[in-house]
Amino acid sequence: MQKLQVGILYGGRSVEHAVSVNSAKNIFEYIDTTRFEAVPFGLDETGRWFRTTKVDKNIKEGSPAELGLNPGDPRIIFADTDIKLDVVFPLLHGTDGEDGSIQGLLQAISIPCVGSGVLGSALSMNKIIAKQLMQQSGLPVGKFVYFTKAEREKIQYNNLVKELGLPFMTKAASLGSSVGINKVNTEADFHTAVEEAFQYDDEILFEEFITAREIECAILGNSPPMASLPGEIVINKKYDFYTFDAKYVDPDAVRIDVPAKLDKAVAAEIQALAVKAFQTLRCLDYARVDIFLTAQNKIYINEINTIPGFTNSSMFPMMWKERGISFTDLISKLIDMTLERHKNSVNVSRSFQSNLKY
């Protein structure tokens, strides 16, 4: 049986470039080679595409690649040959990868793409829009205030303290991996945090600080989506919150409990809310929902990640491994459900007969 050609996209022009490389390395290593031919493509920091022999940070050492933009016969083109991909597995965390950009490109040329499409990716990536939609759907979210860069003069420290209390959090609206996020305890913290957030985005989000346990729940599938048992990230007390270094650099920063030590009723409620968040934001195939759980067992949905990490310390694969799904089987499931979903989408009519003259 001929193997399916699976494009693995990684890197990209995002502050999460390095995280993306590490996630893609695991997909490349654990993909079922009896069924799939992994074809890695690295995007450098400027967004240029390179075919690489393996997933590696030295992306520019690969062969420059271009897209053939024919929806009937889309191809990746090189100087001396081209490749037709059966499906693409994007591991492009953050900007231009998790925000619907690459999903729209692949959709336009009819290449199946693992994970959420344009709508779900865009809605989930923007923390402001995501919180507004979840709030309107009756999902529990913490108090928040937001501004655009054009409204910068309206951002007043004292007003935020009245609205959110102290401390509070500042976040760039459309980033992940805790980049552009700060905890504000003083007015000096506030000015520094605003500068940093606007360095990465044109929108800034301010949130109340919730003293709570860091809970995560993995979602898999579409009709209907399934929720894993929740896991917990127990953060070393030397960290004020779950920072980038705590996530990816310091091996002693966290302890991961999979599953989390939770009352069964609380765990079930978290699973139900995570699935509702996934559906509310029109996500597809898989995602990780990040949740706060207070000492009084009050649940808040923090955010949803449509391309969760696949690094060695990532919760998404860990939570499914606990459910008996190996890393290799998880990758296969994601590819299979993507191909099935794409097959069904072909039946949607894109033509309309009318009397309009043109």
Active site residues: 16, 177, 248, 288, 290, 303, 305, 309
Structure tokens at 228: 């894993």
Q: Are residues 83 and 66 in contact, defined by beta-carbon separation less than 8 angstroms? A: no
Phi-psi region of 165 (alpha: psi -120 to 50; beta: other; left: phi over 0): left
**Residue showing tokens 């969760």:** 308
Amino acid at 154: K
SS3 53: coil
Structure tokens at 342: 């794409």
DSSP annotation string for 78-132: -SS-EE--SEEEE---STTTTSSHHHHHHHHTT--BSS--HHHHHHHHSHHHHHH
> What gap in Å lies between CA 307 and CA 296, rounded to an integer?
31
Sheet holding 203-208, edge to edge: 144-148, 203-208, 168-172, 181-184
Angle (CA) 275-276-279 rounded to 5° is: 90
What distance, in Å, lies between the first and last C-alpha atoms of the chain?
47
> What gap in Å lies between CA 9 and CA 21, rounded to an integer?
9
> What gap in Å lies between CA 274 and CA 313, rounded to an integer?
21
Integer angstrom CA distances of residue 345 from 72, 110, 259, 338, 341: 15, 10, 35, 11, 6
